[in-house]
Structure 1
Amino acid sequence: MSKATHATRLSIVLLAMFALAACSQSQVESADTSAGDAGHASGEHGSRSSAGLPEGRIAAGEQRANVKGKATGQSCIDCHGADGNNPIDPTYPRLGGQYGDYLAHSLQAYRSGDRDHMLMTPQAAGLTDQEIADLAAYFGSRPSQLRDLHGVN
């Protein structure tokens, strides 16, 4: 695959991720406005989730992020790095500071098989709703190294 084709595909994937994250953010903000700002979209402070999950617990998510999965023998931290900001492979996403709802929806899709990846699908298969909510809250609360790619060629 040429570098140009790879760059185009990567741009499309990133744009789709940002669009999903923006939709998730606006839905939560709309709900917060009508409900008196009872939560925060990033998963901080155990906020409610558009993924229909229980309240996420940051401390429990941090513990779970360090548990080695049976499917691969790796933990979230092993592959995505401390705080989710130092992946071992440049194709692995940075999770730190990502919208908690986006992370929760992604893990649910891997768990159900709607989203397929040779490592993530088996890793997520055994996660409970609470574990997904906790992981999303933890990584959503971490410092972000995400950047806006608007205008990047």
Structure 2
Amino acid sequence: MQRWVYALPLLALAWGQHARAADIEAGKAKAAVCAACHGVDGRAQIPHYPHLAGQNAAYLLKQMSAFKEGSRQEPLMAPFMAMLTEADMENLAAYYASLK
């Protein structure tokens, strides 16, 4: 039990570093392609496309990963997700999460 007590602060520090690693400005640059469907400000103008602005970053990252790996199917998203790295997806998620 005592070993876990000592490990928890290290785990929290590692998680915090990972969460801060995303680059919002890089995400904003990548989002130019997304704007056609999801809007320049993350607010879609087309009714059946979701708003991304203000969404939780972890949720967005999970959804992008699902599109990329194919567990979530959407023919329009597949080509865009195929081009993204894990860092790109983290940056996009952070960017959209930062919007109001």
TM-score of the pair, normalised by structure 2 = 0.79
Q: Any residues of structure 2 matched to 1:3-152 within 5 Å, and which?
A: 35=12, 39=16, 48=19, 55-66=21-32, 75-85=33-43, 87-143=44-100
- Tell me the alpha carbon deviations over residues 111-147 of structure 1, each in whole angstroms, 9 at most, x when there is no partner: 111101121122101210010010000001001xxxx
Contact kept? 1:61, 1:136, Cα under 8 Å: yes
| Aligned-pair CA distance for 1:110 | 0.5
The RMSD of aligned alpha carbons is 2.4
* Cα displacement (A) at 1:47: 6.0
The one-letter amino acid paired with 1:35 is: A
Question: Where in structure 2 are there 5+ consecutive unaligned residues?
Answer: 1-7
Q: What are the ranges of 5 or more consecutive residues in structure 1 without an aligned counterpart?
A: 1-30, 40-45, 50-54, 67-74, 144-153
Following TM superposition, by how much is the alpha carbon of 1:56 offset from its aligned partner in structure 2, in angstroms?
1.1
Name the structure, 1 or 2, with higher relative contact order (CA <8 Å, separation 6+).
2
- Contact 1:59–1:138 under 8 Å retained in 2: yes
Q: TM-score, normalised to structure 1's length? A: 0.53
Instruction: Give structure 1 regions of 4+ aligned residues with deviation exceeding 4 angstroms.
Output: none
More displaced stretch, 56-65 vs 117-126: 117-126
